[in-house]
Structure 1
Amino acid sequence: MARAPSGAGFFAVLPYLGLWLVDTRGLSGGGAGLVVGSSILANRAGAVLLIPLIHRLGLKASVVTGYVGAVAVFALLGTGPGLAVTGWLVLAALVGLFLAMATTAMKASVAALPADQQLRGFSYLNMAVNAGSAVGPVIGGQLLHWHASWLPLSAAVLHLVALAAAPALPGTWRRSERPRPAAGGSGRRPLVQRRFVVFSLLACGAWVAYAQAFDVLPAYLGDTVDARDLGLVFTLNAVMVVALQVPATWLSRRVLDAPRGGFGVLWAAAGSVLAASVLLFALGRSAGLSVVLVAMVLFTLSELVWGPLYDTQVSERRGTLSLPAAYALAGVASGAAESAGAWLGTLLVVGRSGTGPLSPAAAPYWGAAALALLTALAMAWDGRSPSADPLDTRKGEGNDHDVDVSARA
């Protein structure tokens, strides 16, 4: 599946990008944090600029176009040793933008499945990402020791493999249908509805915590845990997702359908475990690799639940938005949260001394844990509150182009 080699390429670079820029390109901690943050923001939120293009090209062609652009920009990243910070910012943002295009189109394809197949579809997509990312961090960690300048080039090669697999994706190459007004409406109903906005903003706490675990951790533990060992920590995450995603999805479905279960209860449980894992990551500088491994196990158990749940909720709460528009707009919130978390976390941990859990360098992890816990409580409350907005009854009809947002969005 195309998403597996793409995930390998992405995770071969992103967890080490800040450390790579500091150690091999001479950037400051603040400059490296800005570059990492720009890539994450473009990757999560950039697709909102590409909604009209995705609709025009169609979902399958958009995936191919995104991978072609990613190959080109990763190759430039690997051959740009003399760039200033602004140059690195532009290239990092471009690669994030191209990958956002491919990812949004692929998620929209899964969300077009019948409603009872969406959670399973997103679970399989999560497995594909993690199957690739099982080898990605290992590749990145080894290249930092063998030949650090090859790090972005490895991502270019892996996305070439993804590009070769993309034509086999389901769907057609035809252009998308033109948008049409919401059924039964006067055209005055807002496209972006309250329940969609509330959920997207509440989920930001989880994405800030995610940034500390995946984007900041190598810089935080750079003087304590060897890069190759840290690569194995990320591989543990990926292997657990591949091995446990199916039973975790089955259990999630049971909780969602239980009389006293539901979305709020499920997210609250996953968010609480996420907060605990981030606190344990903060102990990594003083306690070493063993605690980091325990933290990653807990982090993965939470991710198995809230990752696919997040994607299905975006589809469920989209209202009259088209599927590409819904995932692109949700990406604005999640991208801004992860980007800000990665930038601030990298800025605070690079060059900071102290190994104790109360040292200044551990501050991003304490803050992220608090946000994850607050998010869990807020989602539990949101899950109990009845919404005035009806669920989208058109889910599962495969109509992912019914209503568009403005081309200026």
Structure 2
Amino acid sequence: MVNDKGADSGQLLTSRQLTALVVARAASCAGFFAVLPYLGLWLMDDRGLSGASAGLVVGASILANRAGGVLLVQLIHRLGLKASVGVGYLGAVVVFGVLGMGLRLPTYGWLVLAVLVGLFLAMATTAMKAQVAAFPPDQRLRGFSYLNMAVNAGSAVGPVIGGQLLEWQADRLPLSAALLDLVALAVVPALPGDWRAADRSGAPAPAGSTVGRRLPGRRFATFTLLVCGTWVAYAQVFDVLPAYLGDSVGTRELGLVFTLNAVLVVALQVPVSALSRRLLNHPRAGFGLLCLTANAVLALAVVLFGLGRSAGFGLVLTAMVLFTLSELVWSPLYDTQVGERRGELSTTAAYALAGVAWGSAESVGAWLGTLLVVHRSGPETLSGTAATPYWGGAALALLTGLALSWGGRHKSEKPLGGQEGNAHDVDVSARA
């Protein structure tokens, strides 16, 4: 029988809650990625902005989406996690609706709207991760695995929707995102947790509360910074690869490569995560070995991508299969570890800080990789600057795996009060 109390009662993640998490995350991601890849083009062609102004608007939206969780920590704790998810999606619906009203605004007007979209979606995403982190330890990896599957599904479907609308009726582009976020908003009542924040009752905070805690502990900071190496390697695939392989692999073939990634994630995330959970509990495996294996496979995939310009399309496909297998392990595993290593940070603050750090690492990796690829010495030169991001990314991934393997020999810190996943630990007044 399905029980809907979920995390707040310390019970298992129910099928209803799991379905709501997947639908909300997939729909919101599809809406964001239906607009983001085409936002600059839409602003220039349909709203008359210059290239520099359109780029500023797009960059501001991405930055707000990455860093917004940290800025909104206090507000999320005051509202509560479930209410924050609802407010985030409702705000995104309203702002996307305004974007689609056919307005003629100066650059700063579009800038404000783009930033608001990023902030509202960051609010919903951070609060949703904290909801999953509030579940019992043996259920968190499962929850984050489904979220990873939903993100990949949404980010694959979204650009297809946006591309078609851009050709058929460009004015409807933001409205499609508003409709998708409305779908996400509709399933919020089925998400885990209560609508009311834990601190609304006026009761005093317990001794050792996470209220007011701002700075991360050393263990959490070390883990978060080490994981940045994985995200730099990730950026060479998802952000730099089209520019790197542009001379040797056609656009259609490259699209198939990324479609393969999305299909494999949707098809394999659940069984791979089930295997990961068993390995985490195995006396001869555990977190360290899983991280080392996943990052070693990632490093191999990045090396194969680096060879792809001369070796051909078949090697690129093989590299994407390996890359996806590694992502299926490390992506939900890292999200789970954020909640377990947060120390005295509130759960939401921990996910917000980790999101900023990892988003910044991906951005820096993408910038450096693109810079080196654009100034490549020749299409077939493996020793020139063009392939440097791939050799460097592979080395970083392998070093990250080794470092996390060493750190994985130590047990995670217990959250405050010794109650891992306690809902009051999540909803106290210091949001993230």
> Displacement of 1:177 after TM fit?
1.8
> Displacement of 1:144 after TM fit?
6.8
Q: Take 2:410 and 2:369, find their aligned partners in 1: how far apart are those partners?
A: 34
Q: Percent identity?
A: 69
Query: Contact 1:279–1:369 at 8 Å: present in 2 too?
Result: yes
> Displacement of 1:51 after TM fit?
0.8
What's the CA shift string for 1:344-398, capped at 9, x where partnerless? 33444457674234443433333322222221111112113567x5466311333
Q: Pick from 82, 99, 102: which aligns with 1:60?
A: 82
Q: Take 1:350 and 1:23, find their aligned partners in 2: how far apart are those partners?
A: 26
Q: Does 1:47 align with 2:72?
A: no
- 1:336 maps to a residue whose letter is S
Alignment correspondent of 2:8: none
Using structure 1 for the length normalisation, give the TM-score.
0.82
> Displacement of 1:247 after TM fit?
1.6
Equivalenced residues, count? 403
Q: Take 2:173 and 2:310, find their aligned partners in 1: how far apart are those partners?
A: 29
What's the CA shift string for 1:172-223, capped at 9, x where partnerless? 3223426965646899998622211111110111112222322333444455
Q: Pick from 123, 127, 145: which aligns with 1:101?
A: 123
Q: Take 2:252 and 2:168, find their aligned partners in 1: how far apart are those partners?
A: 11
Query: Contact 1:108–1:400 at 8 Å: present in 2 too?
Result: no
What's the CA shift string for 1:81-135, capped at 9, x where partnerless? 9976x87766554433222111111111111111221111111222222232342
Alignment correspondent of 2:219: 195
Judge which range, 46-55 or 219-228, deviates more.
219-228
What's the CA shift string for 1:261-280, capped at 9, x where partnerless? 11111101101111222233
- 2:216 maps to a residue whose letter is V
Alignment correspondent of 1:373: 398
CA shift in 2, pair 1:257/1:171, >3 Å? closer
Query: Contact 1:133–1:235 at 8 Å: present in 2 too?
Result: no
Using structure 2 for the length normalisation, give the TM-score.
0.78
CA shift in 2, pair 1:347/1:92, >3 Å? farther
Q: Take 2:29 and 2:76, find their aligned partners in 1: how far apart are those partners?
A: 21
CA shift in 2, pair 1:94/1:210, >3 Å? farther
When the two chains are superposed, the root-mean-square deviation of aligned CA atoms in Å is 3.8
CA shift in 2, pair 1:350/1:187, >3 Å? closer
- 1:107 maps to a residue whose letter is K
Alignment correspondent of 1:4: 26
1:3-402 alignment runs, 5 A limit:
3-14=25-36, 27=51, 32=55, 38-74=60-96, 92-140=114-162, 154-177=176-199, 183=207, 192-222=216-246, 225-350=249-374, 354-356=378-380, 357-385=382-410, 389-390=413-414, 393-401=418-426
> Displacement of 1:321 after TM fit?
2.0
Q: Take 1:336 and 1:15, find their aligned partners in 2: how far apart are those partners?
A: 19
| Bigger Rg, structure 1 or 2 | 2
> Displacement of 1:74 after TM fit?
4.6
Q: Take 1:353 and 1:81, find their aligned partners in 2: how far apart are those partners?
A: 44
Q: Take 2:35 and 2:300, find their aligned partners in 1: how far apart are those partners?
A: 26
SS at match of 2:187: helix
Q: Take 2:252 and 2:185, find their aligned partners in 1: how far apart are those partners?
A: 28
Structure 2: runs of 5+ lacking an equivalent: 1-22
> Displacement of 1:403 after TM fit?
5.3
- 1:378 maps to a residue whose letter is A
Alignment correspondent of 2:18: none
